[in-house]
Amino acid sequence: MWTLMSRTMRLRPLLLGRSTLGKIGRSLANSWRLLRAGRRGDAVYISIPGQLGAWLLLPTIAVARLRGLTMWFHHHSFRSINLGPMRVMRTLVAWAGPAQNHILLSDGMRDRFAGLYLPPGAGRAHTMSNTVLLGSDIRSKLSPRPGRPLTLGHVSVLTREKGVSYLFELFDALCREVPGIRLVIAGPSSDPALLATVREAEVRHSGAFDYRGEVAGEEKERFYQDIDLFVLPTTLVDEAEPLVMIEAYSRGVDVLATSTGCIPDRIRDPGLLLSLNIAGDTALVASAARFGASDWARRREDCLAHLARLAKNGEEQGAAVLKAMYDSVQQVRMGHDKTARANATKAGEP
C-alpha cells in the first residue's frame, strides 16, 4: 500500500507500535503529531487492527477530525462484520465524522460493512481486492505434472480456527476413498496440542503425510509445486480475503475452501466451497482430486485465467481508490484555498 500510494502522494509514517504499552504510547504520540503538523487537506490512512486495538485509534481519529483531515480506513478483517455491529466499530465511525472513507476487500464485504455501520447512501465505502498487491506475481509457465500420487496441500499459521483439525479428519476419510492420496501441510504453530495432533498424523499416515513447518521463498515455491489442490477449511472470525488463495491460484493450484469472509467472492468455482460436513466434503474433495489428475493442465490454466481476471479487477479498483484519495485531498485543499482568498479579499475591503 505504501508503494501504491507513494506514486501520487507524499507519505509520512505514523507507527502503531507492537506491544500493548507501545501501542498506547504510539496512539498518544500520533495524536500529538497530527495536532501539531496536520494541515487541512492532508489525508490519514489507517489499516484497522483485527482485534480490540481499534480502540487505541480513537485519540488519533478525534484529532484528525478536529484538524479537518480526510480519513481512510483499510479493513483486512471480517471480525467487525461477523460479530457486528460491534461497539468499537460503531464508535470509530461516529468519531470519524463526515470526512471518512472505508476500503473493503470485496463487494460483498463492502456492502455488509456499509449496511452495519454507515448511513444509507453515504457512498464512503470502496472495494479494493488484495490482488492489487499481487503485481506481476502470476506464474504463466506451467511444467508438466510430475509422476506422484494425488496430493492435497494447506499452508497457514496453523490454528484450530484455520481448520487444521478438521483437515486431518477429512484426510482420514479421503484415505479410504482415494487410495494413495497424500497431504502436505506447512506453517508454524504455537499450539502444543495442535502440534501433537500433527505428530499423531505423521504416525497414522506414515508416507502419506508431510509436515514441512514454516516455509518461505524457494521452500514455499516447492510446496505449491508438490500439491494438486489447496484445501482451506477456515472458520477464523477475522478471515477476509486469504492471500494464500491468491498465491495458490498464481501457481495454477485450485482451491477448496469454506464460505468464510470474502472467499465466496474469490473462489474460482462456487462448487468447490466446503460445507464442513465430513461426508459431503469427502465426496467433493475426492471428485475434485480425481478430475485434477485426469485433466491437470486444464485445471491449472483455468486457475491462472481466473487469477488474471481477479488481478485486472484489483488493478482497476486500486486505481479508483487511489484517485478517490487524491481527489478528496485536492477538493479539501481547493476549498480551503478558496475560503482563504475570500477572507483575504474581505479583509482588504474598506
The DSSP symbol for 86 reads P
| Nearest one of 227, 248, 341 to 293, comparing CA atoms | 227
The Cβ of residue 277 has, within 10 Å, a number of other Cβ atoms equal to 10
How far apart (Å, rounded) are the C-alpha atoms in residues 161 and 189? 12
Per-residue pLDDT at 325: 84
Average pLDDT over residues 307-321: 91
Beta bridge partners of 75: 48
How far apart (Å, rounded) are the C-alpha atoms in residues 6 and 16? 19
Under a CB-based contact definition with an 8 Å cutoff, are residues 181 and 174 in contact?
A: yes
CA distances from 111 to 74, 81, 107, 222, 272 (A): 15, 10, 6, 38, 24
Confidence of residue 266 (pLDDT cuts 50, 70, 90): very high
- Beta-strand ranges (E) seen in the chain are 43-48, 70-75, 100-104, 125-127, 151-155, 182-186, 209-211, 229-232, 254-258, 273-274
DSSP assignment string, 23-46: HHHHHHHHHHHHHHH--TT-EEEE
Which range is least confidently modeled, 175-179, 188-192, 298-302, 344-348? 344-348
Higher-confidence residue: 143 or 260? 260
pLDDT at 134 over 80: no
Per-residue pLDDT at 344: 46
How far apart (Å, rounded) are the C-alpha atoms in residues 189 and 164? 11
Under a CB-based contact definition with an 8 Å cutoff, are residues 192 and 180 in contact?
A: no
pLDDT at 349 over 70: no
Average pLDDT over residues 156-165: 94
Three-state SS for 184?
Answer: strand
Per-residue pLDDT at 332: 57
Beta bridge partners of 74: 47, 103
Grid cell in block for residue 216: 518461505
pLDDT at 347 over 70: no
Rounded to the nearest integer, the mean pLDDT of the chain is 87
Average pLDDT over residues 262-283: 96
Per-residue pLDDT at 298: 86
Average pLDDT over residues 89-115: 94
Report the residue count for the chain. Answer: 350
